Amino acid sequence: MWKRFFSRQARKPSGLFGRIIAKRIFDKGNDALNTAMVDLVAAQQDNVVLEIGFGCGTVVREVADRVGSGMVEGIDFSGAMMAVAGKRNRHHIREGRVRLVHGDFDSAEYPGNRFDTVCSANTIYFWPDPARTCERIHHVLKPGGRVVLAFVDKSKMDAMPLDMDVFRPISCDSVRSLLETVGFASVLVHPVKKDGTMVCVTACKET
């Protein structure tokens, strides 16, 4: 019962639990992965960056601190996370440097060739069709743009007390071949933990 409730909240936080408890869990538990992802995004002045499933909005804020006259867009389908991230980024939103959208990336309408970088942490386990989502990421990236996906590897997730009808753990090798199949080049795996259970995978859309 708790396993199912927690797993559903992790996929799409809602209500008070989402705004208070999920926020604490994400801030603490996901910090190492999110910090590694921000480093790999390595945002430059003028970059236009998209984060899918921004949760509490910390990555959005940290990337926005670095893009100068660029822009960070985020999309998340949780109303609770929209509220938390909106508060956390209010200064950047006021200045027009951050735009947060309440919606599902899989059905959102983005023009092609828009972003320099697309990043996402701890969301790939919830994508109903990861190949389709990777294709959409490829489409919205500019030629030469990069994707950064951060996640806990299947080898560790399989042993966690999670509802596997909600979470679909994925291995690093599967993510690598998914990205190659949809046309990405230079796919690289960056271990965040030495044992490889927490990783970021980066790849480029060819010019």
Ligand X SMILES: C[S@@+](CC[C@H](N)C(=O)[O-])C[C@H]1O[C@@H](n2cnc3c(N)ncnc32)[C@H](O)[C@@H]1O
* Minimum separation from the CB atom of position 113 to ligand X (A): 20
Shortest CB 203 distance to ligand X, Å: 19
Six-digit token string for 100:
């947060």
d(CA 110, CA 102): 14
Give whichever of 77 and 184 is closer to ligand X, judged by the CB atom. Answer: 77
8 Å CB contact between 170 and 155: no
Residue whose CB is less far from ligand X, 53 or 145 = 53
Q: C-beta of 169: minimal distance to ligand X in Å?
A: 13
Q: Are 175 and 122 within 8 A, CB to CB?
A: no
Query: Using an 8 Å Cβ cutoff, are 61 and 40 in contact?
Result: no
Q: Which is nearer to ligand X, 35 or 207 (CB)?
A: 35
CB 203 within 8 A of CB 146: yes
Q: Which residues of 89-100 are buried (b: 16+ CB within 10 A; e: fewer)?
A: beebbeeebbeb
What minimum distance in Å lies between the beta carbon of 81 and ligand X?
4
Q: Which is nearer to ligand X, 26 or 184 (CB)?
A: 26
Binding site for ligand X (CB under 6 A): 10, 12-13, 26, 30, 34, 52-55, 75-78, 81, 104-106, 121-123, 126
Residue reference for tokens 């951050």: 98
12 CB neighbour count, 10 Å cutoff: 18
Residue 91 Cβ vs ligand X, minimum distance, rounded to whole Å: 20
Q: Which is nearer to ligand X, 28 or 194 (CB)?
A: 28
